Structure 1
Amino acid sequence: MESFRTLIKGWLGKVLLVLFLTPLALVGIEGYFSGSNKADVAKSVNGQDISNKELESATKNYKDQYLSLVKGDESLLNQPVIQQKALDALIARSLLQQQAKKLGISLSDTQIEQMLAQQPSFQENGKFSQKLYENYLRSQGMTNQALIASLRQDHALKMISSTLLDYALVSQSDLHQLANLQTEQRTLHLASIKLDDYKKGLTASTQEIADYYSKHKNEFKQVASVDVDYVVLSPALLPQTNLSITEADLQLAYKAFAEKQQKDAKPEVKHILITTDSRDAAAAKKLADDVYAKIQAGMTFAQAAIQFSEDPGSKAQGGLVDAYAPGIFSADFDNAVKALKSGQISKPVKTQYGYHIIETTAPVASVPSFDAEKSRLTAEVQKTKLANLFSDTVNSLNEMVVGNDSLDAVAQEVKGARVESVNGVTLTTQNPYLGDLSVKAKLFNDDVKNGDRNASSNIQLASGDTVWIKVRNYHAAGVKPLDQATAEVKIKVIEAKAYKAAQAKIAKILADFKTQPAAQVVAKSQVTFEDAGTFARSQGLRRAIERAAFSIPAPTKEGMWSATTAKLPNELVIVAVSNVNTSAANELLADQMAELTKLYQQFRGQQLLEDYTDYLKSQAKIK
């Protein structure tokens, strides 16, 4: 079953991606309510604006997805293409949302409330938790109304899209034909004709080289590359001298550690919230002032929180904000927390949620003893001293390298360091040093493109090592000039002549296969055929041979072969088919047919969604 699944997925495509639904979810809820002015509009779709903020967010999400595929190497990404893909997705999202609204596709308030109540992240002990829900709203900087509106919009989009994606019709004849294509097995016989014998005595004239180059320039494209010298300095190469650790070093490190523990300790924050949900701002302010006055008159903060606070998540705890962190409420709230002394109570502070009365308690840090930390501090001080030695050495060598425009100083001053040379380094080079993102940024920056050939200053590698580089030559991307490509062109001209000669030599064999029994043709051909075996599509054949094998008709009679040729580097292969078995499609199990139906339905659904969105786009006003 697994091999069949691999087979059919390989034919339908490497990945069946939902090209619209995936990016539609990338912008995030805040994208719907970010607001924009005309100067901030990236595109307008039937009067509905797509802001630059939305485009930036969608582009970042696309970029993050692609970065995961190239192991974080941003230099391998085509940024303009990614941005255009994000913009296309946002336009598609906008068009589908508008169409859903036009068709009246929407969830009711009751349905949304039920959906929220069933969300696991909002449940505690199996029941909906208002506290968890409100904490989520605060973390997102959203109101309840804004979240509901966004969910309604999201689900309308999902419903109109899934109608096409999940219910695409597929005919039984299409499925049968697809099953036949996927399961058809062909018995192959291969004969290899090496071109070396045909190349003997062949030459390429200057005119032939020029003509070939003129007609096949695209064969001589090159990506940008550099020829570069480099030298690497690792901490391990430095002599371990003057790294002894004294008691004074440890005491100083412990003091810094204790101070950091005190600094990092978080204050306990309590608040009383008076919202503007059921009253205007003036009434909320008056009530907050009254509560503040009661506290000043003797009511405890905890009593006031229980009685007056409208934050259900904290009022039962005397106003305590669990796991307070800057940014939960607003900058004004955070500034008030910073300004308060321990035990001090603020006057009402206004935020988007209403008015807060805030109390803080000074943090208390638990600092381990010196003896408990001594072993860890020793290792930390040792590491710091080595890092300082390395940094001082790098700075000293850097002056020599840059001042003399030479990498030799590093090799001369540090035993074990060597200047290395590499030609043809590209953005995809996997060299452990030259493949580093910081190094590639230096190798292919505008200064190098414009002729800078000076030794670089030191570049810190992700591994902790340091490298200096010096570009000798820069080769721009594009078609190689003929003078640089002449050697390659000559090889191709001679190879083309050899292919032509080999094809002429075997033309009679191919012709005979059409009219004579295979055994008779093979016997007189003086070519050795090997029985390659029986194959279906996507089962390990080299691509050129697979294309040839499945492009020719089945043999017309028993004992006959259908034959053609496939070109491989320096080789011409005769590909012959002696038998075609199409009965395997009739032997597919029910679950295999179900899997094929599901994949094909997804494929068709994706096509329909793309076609539908293209239609909406053709009718839309996009500017």
Structure 2
Amino acid sequence: MESFRKVIKGWLGKVLLVLFLTPLALVGIEGYFSGGSSDRVKSVNGTDISQKELESLTKSFKEQYLTYANGDETLLNQSFIDQKAMDTLVARTVLLQHAEKLGISLSDQQIVQMISQQPSFQQDGKFSDALFENYLKSVGMTNRALIESLRKDHALKMLSSTFLDNPLVSPVDLEQITNLQTEQRHVHIASVNLDNYKKDIKVSDAEIAAYYEKHKAAFKQLTSVDVDYVVVKPTDVAASDVTATDAELQDAYNTFVAAQKKAVKPEVKHILITADGRDEAAAKKLAADVAAKIKAGTSFAQAAAQYSEDPESKGNGGMLPAYEEGVFGTAFDQAVSSLQSGAVSAPIKTEYGYHLIAVQSAAVKVPSFEAEKARLNAEVIASKKANAFSDTVNSLNDQVVGSDSLDVVAQELKTVRVQSAKGVTLATKDPLLSDANVKVKLFNTDVKNGDRNASSSIQLSNGDVVWVKVRNYHAAGEQTLAEAKPRVKNKLIDEKAYSKAKAQIQKTLDEFKTQPAASVNKGSLVFADAGLFTRAEGLLKREVQRAAFSVKTPKAGHWSVATATLPNELVVVAVSEVKKNSAEVLSAEQRAELVKLYQQLRGQQEFDDYTRYLKANAKIK
């Protein structure tokens, strides 16, 4: 049954997606919590949660949500993120405490064995201390911190898997879900336009006031601002001097050549002599002896193959495949930068041991001045225009801020004008006003507290610059009767038109309850055969689908009928047939997938209930 995959991707799949994307996943988050501190923000059964832990997890959650909001920070609910981070930390703490109480833990020896078996820490089939040390450096952890992190991570996994991997699933539940999601309904639809019913409808002020009082909570408004703004584009500013002199072109070429040379990294080789199996003095002496052999004629590659204790580079002439500053420390980097091409350093001490370093500068082929002249000429002119634009913006910014007026921009540049917009919200779709940098200026705390000064210049992503000045700030909340009146009036007109239209077709609707569909006098209703639908397909509008799947199964030849309201439209939804499909219509693979998904859902629900129980019985201060 091909539609089953739509079932999985539909209702049940969406539920699971919400569950598993919720950032309350406690397994694997130990990396956020590298040591506590005295700045306690919460205590859970005597275990402190530090400000550092809270800030770290809050930052991580914020980065996750920013990816969903395409980097627009103004769309984030920071208080929600803060609370989510705190709830997660509390939940993690009570779970770890309960895991310890149950004796769920690994010994140091077990963890060391796990680490030693990791492929990323192995070299030629054996555990590599060097690879492990580099990993610890990269994550900024000590050996002991990593072991404790893995111990807690394993305890969380073991505890959560008790629920997630072994949920109780009833065959009756599975059968009901299968029946609901595979059931097909044959739908017919008739539409009644409400325009004609609205012509003579009158709504009094008393009706509007009464409706408003009864449904006041429904008339909410988002935070919005009325704003003036002025935009300046680079094309609005004419540069006075747009030619490039020979001297400027030569300077640009010299800069280009220097950049080309700097971009080419030298080849770096080293021979490493460690203190493993010898004392430091012996290691230093051996390094000096090897340096003497190289000076006497032994090639660097031969010396590396014979003496280097870096297994990754000794077989390759000592060559470091991708040298990066900071890997071996400051002393190593200073030697690399100061060595002449082809020279070999004296022994250089780092935390790894003693290094002999050789550097070979790569040859750089730089295009001639004439070959680059046209491109450089365009760059110099573009730079001059950009500087002229920047100077103009800076001058205008001083005037705008000094006078608290946007008009000075329009007075200086005749090609621009001050524009206005009312009711701008965070969700407003506008090429300019929906820019994240602009919204930060429109909806910050200062504006909320009454600041109505003109902003400083705001750089847009396309290179334009804008200034904004908020005229009015409308806080989120319930609208007043005056503000809500147009919406209330339209709502009442719609309801009266709907009632009027339904009353006119009520006789037909009643006939459907007792007569076969073929004998019902449908009058002005013209039904279109919409086809067969399942709940999970999502092909019908929500109101129509709700009506179609809420009516009872019709008798043969009869239709079960309901109505749905859409904007300016009354929809009559009829179901002529309901096809029940049992689990047998699914293949073994599909049934297994359904069982797996439902088990995941039930397991997550049980784990969440268990976590809530532990939190409810914990002493949280």
- Residue 600 (structure 1) shift: 1.1
Q: What residue is the counterpart of 1:445 in the other structure?
A: 444
**2:528 aligned with 1:530, yes or no?**
yes
Contact 1:438–1:459 under 8 Å retained in 2: yes
Judging changes above 3 Å, is the alpha-carbon distance between structure 1 residues 568 and 614 closer, same or farther for their aligned structure 2 residues?
same
Judging changes above 3 Å, is the alpha-carbon distance between structure 1 residues 133 and 388 closer, same or farther for their aligned structure 2 residues?
same
Judging changes above 3 Å, is the alpha-carbon distance between structure 1 residues 210 and 326 closer, same or farther for their aligned structure 2 residues?
farther
Judging changes above 3 Å, is the alpha-carbon distance between structure 1 residues 22 and 264 closer, same or farther for their aligned structure 2 residues?
farther
Farther-moved stretch of structure 1 (335-344 vs 133-142): 335-344
In the alignment, structure 1 segments of 5+ residues that lack a partner are 279-283
Judging changes above 3 Å, is the alpha-carbon distance between structure 1 residues 446 and 620 closer, same or farther for their aligned structure 2 residues?
closer
Quick one: distance in 2 between partners of 1:543 and 1:384?
A: 55
- Residue 101 (structure 1) shift: 2.8
- Residue 213 (structure 1) shift: 0.9
Q: What residue is the counterpart of 2:247 in the other structure?
A: 248
Quick one: distance in 1 between partners of 2:405 and 2:465?
A: 16
Judging changes above 3 Å, is the alpha-carbon distance between structure 1 residues 363 and 394 closer, same or farther for their aligned structure 2 residues?
farther
Quick one: distance in 2 between partners of 1:335 and 1:427?
A: 52
SS in 2 for 1:135: helix
Quick one: distance in 2 between partners of 1:389 and 1:195?
A: 59
Q: Structure 2 counterpart of 1:17, which letter? A: L
SS in 2 for 1:154: helix
Judging changes above 3 Å, is the alpha-carbon distance between structure 1 residues 588 and 264 closer, same or farther for their aligned structure 2 residues?
closer
Quick one: distance in 2 between partners of 1:503 and 1:434?
A: 43
After superposition, what is the alpha-carbon deviation per residue over 1:145-183, rounded to whole angstroms, capped at 9, x for unaligned? Answer: 332332232122212212311222322211111011001
Judging changes above 3 Å, is the alpha-carbon distance between structure 1 residues 256 and 359 closer, same or farther for their aligned structure 2 residues?
farther
Contact 2:30–2:149 under 8 Å retained in 1: no
Quick one: distance in 2 between partners of 1:474 and 1:142?
A: 48
From 16, 19, 23, the counterpart of 1:17: 19
Quick one: distance in 2 between partners of 1:402 and 1:269?
A: 57
SS in 2 for 1:24: coil
- Residue 558 (structure 1) shift: 1.5
**2:599 aligned with 1:601, yes or no?**
yes
Contact 1:231–1:420 under 8 Å retained in 2: yes
How does 1:1-400 map onto structure 2 within 5 Å?
3-12=3-12, 14=14, 15-18=17-20, 23-24=25-26, 27-29=29-31, 31-32=32-33, 34-39=34-39, 41-107=40-106, 112-113=111-112, 115-124=114-123, 128-239=127-238, 241-256=240-255, 334=330, 369=366, 371=368, 374-375=372-373, 377-400=376-399
Coordinate RMSD, CA, aligned: 4.0
- Residue 326 (structure 1) shift: 6.3
Quick one: distance in 2 between partners of 1:335 and 1:75?
A: 45
Quick one: distance in 2 between partners of 1:37 and 1:170?
A: 43
SS in 2 for 1:93: helix
Contact 1:112–1:148 under 8 Å retained in 2: yes
Contact 1:226–1:425 under 8 Å retained in 2: yes
After superposition, what is the alpha-carbon deviation per residue over 1:123-160, rounded to whole angstroms, capped at 9, x for unaligned? Answer: 45666543322211122222333323322321222122
- Residue 566 (structure 1) shift: 1.4
SS in 2 for 1:522: coil
Quick one: distance in 2 between partners of 1:62 and 1:2?
A: 38
- Residue 81 (structure 1) shift: 0.5
SS in 2 for 1:232: strand
Quick one: distance in 2 between partners of 1:274 and 1:619?
A: 55
Farther-moved stretch of structure 1 (483-492 vs 505-514): 505-514
Q: What residue is the counterpart of 2:565 in the other structure?
A: 567
Quick one: distance in 1 between partners of 2:536 and 2:416?
A: 49
Judging changes above 3 Å, is the alpha-carbon distance between structure 1 residues 213 and 270 closer, same or farther for their aligned structure 2 residues?
farther
After superposition, what is the alpha-carbon deviation per residue over 1:263-306, rounded to whole angstroms, capped at 9, x for unaligned? Answer: 8898979898989x99xxxxx9xx65886799899987999999
**2:614 aligned with 1:616, yes or no?**
yes
Quick one: distance in 1 between partners of 2:156 and 2:184?
A: 43
Identity %: 54
Farther-moved stretch of structure 1 (260-269 vs 436-445): 260-269
Quick one: distance in 2 between partners of 1:16 and 1:445?
A: 30
Q: What residue is the counterpart of 2:297 in the other structure?
A: none
Q: What residue is the counterpart of 2:577 in the other structure?
A: 579
- Residue 328 (structure 1) shift: 5.2
Quick one: distance in 1 between partners of 2:215 and 2:553?
A: 34
Judging changes above 3 Å, is the alpha-carbon distance between structure 1 residues 150 and 176 closer, same or farther for their aligned structure 2 residues?
same
Judging changes above 3 Å, is the alpha-carbon distance between structure 1 residues 115 and 469 closer, same or farther for their aligned structure 2 residues?
same
Contact 1:20–1:92 under 8 Å retained in 2: no
SS in 2 for 1:533: strand
Farther-moved stretch of structure 1 (145-154 vs 166-175): 145-154
- Residue 74 (structure 1) shift: 0.7
SS in 2 for 1:583: coil
The TM-score normalised by the length of structure 1 is 0.83
The TM-score normalised by the length of structure 2 is 0.83
Quick one: distance in 2 between partners of 1:109 and 1:592?
A: 43
Q: Structure 2 counterpart of 1:520, which letter? A: S
Quick one: distance in 1 between partners of 2:348 and 2:216?
A: 76
Quick one: distance in 2 between partners of 1:271 and 1:60?
A: 42
Quick one: distance in 2 between partners of 1:22 and 1:288?
A: 50
Contact 1:243–1:385 under 8 Å retained in 2: yes
Q: Structure 1 counterpart of 2:569, which letter? A: E
Quick one: distance in 2 between partners of 1:295 and 1:125?
A: 26
Q: Structure 2 counterpart of 1:37, which letter? A: S
Q: Structure 2 counterpart of 1:18, which letter? A: F
After superposition, what is the alpha-carbon deviation per residue over 1:343-367, rounded to whole angstroms, capped at 9, x for unaligned? Answer: 9989988xxxx79778988996876
Residues paired across the two proteins, number? 603
